[in-house]
Amino acid sequence: MKETPQELKIHNNMKKGMISVTGFLGDDERHYHEIIADDKKNLEKIGLSADKIADRLEYFSRKAFPVYDGTTIIDEIYQVEYRSYRGRIMCPFGHGGGYRKGEITLVNLQNNARLCWTPLNEHMIRTHCFFEGVGSNHRLDPEIIKKALF
């Protein structure tokens, strides 16, 4: 696939060792455009939108953020933990400002579905409909998101 210089830059940013050690593509050999397109189809199938998912992820991270040194139970069935790390991480799509380094881990206590995401995931889902490549540490599969959060 022919890439514009901007797309090439984004693609490079997603590779291992550019913005993070493991990158954003995992073992996925698809181009990031294809990953996004396939996940858009997945969203259609399960009847959710990227905005709706981002809203839900942000809802939990906002509630867990003040509980900075432990886990909290939200809405009686979600066990959530927010771990903060020093610094900010950049968006591979080139959006400026950087996003807090942190990891939010959620367990749905009713069905044991588990999700782990970062503040950057929330931005990439809402703005780019990018859920990361399969095998990436923070890949968020829309079906698992549905099981865990909706």
Partner 1 sequence: MACEIIQTVFIISVITGFLALLLVIAEALFVNYGECRIKINGKKELVVQGGGSLLSTLNDNKIFLASACGGRGSCGFCKCTISSGAGPLLPTEKPFLSEKEISDGVRLSCQVKVKQDLSIKIPEEIFNIRKFRAEVAKITDLTYDIKELTLKLVEPGTISFKAGQYVQLESPAYEKSRQSVQRAYSISSNPYQDDMIQLIIRRVPEGICTTYVFDYLKEGDKINFTGPFGDFFIRETEADMLFIAGGSGKAPIKSMIEFLDKIGSRRRMVYLFGARSTKDLYYTELFREYEKKLTNFSYVPVLSQPSEECEWKGRCGYIPPFIPEFLRDPVNTEAYLCGSPGMIDAVKKALLELGVPDNKIYFDSFA
Chain residues that interact with partner 1, rule: CB under 8 A:
2, 4-5, 15-18, 20-22, 65-70, 82, 84-88, 90, 94-98, 100-101, 103, 137
Q: How far is the CB of 8 from partner 1 (least distance, A)?
A: 10
Of 52 and 83, which CB lies nearer to partner 1 in the complex structure?
83
Closest CA to 24 of 13, 9, 34: 13
- Please list the residues that pair with 82 across neighbouring strands: 104
Residue 52 structure tokens? 């709706």
d(CA 20, CA 114): 23
Q: How far is the CB of 92 from partner 1 (least distance, A)?
A: 10
Of 9 and 147, which CB lies nearer to partner 1 in the complex structure?
9
Q: How far is the CB of 86 from partner 1 (least distance, A)?
A: 4
Of 49 and 116, which CB lies nearer to partner 1 in the complex structure?
116
Q: How far is the CB of 4 from partner 1 (least distance, A)?
A: 7
Give per-residue burial for 65-98: e unless 16+ CB within 10 Å, then b.
Answer: beeeeeeeebeeebebbbeeeeeebbbbbeeeee
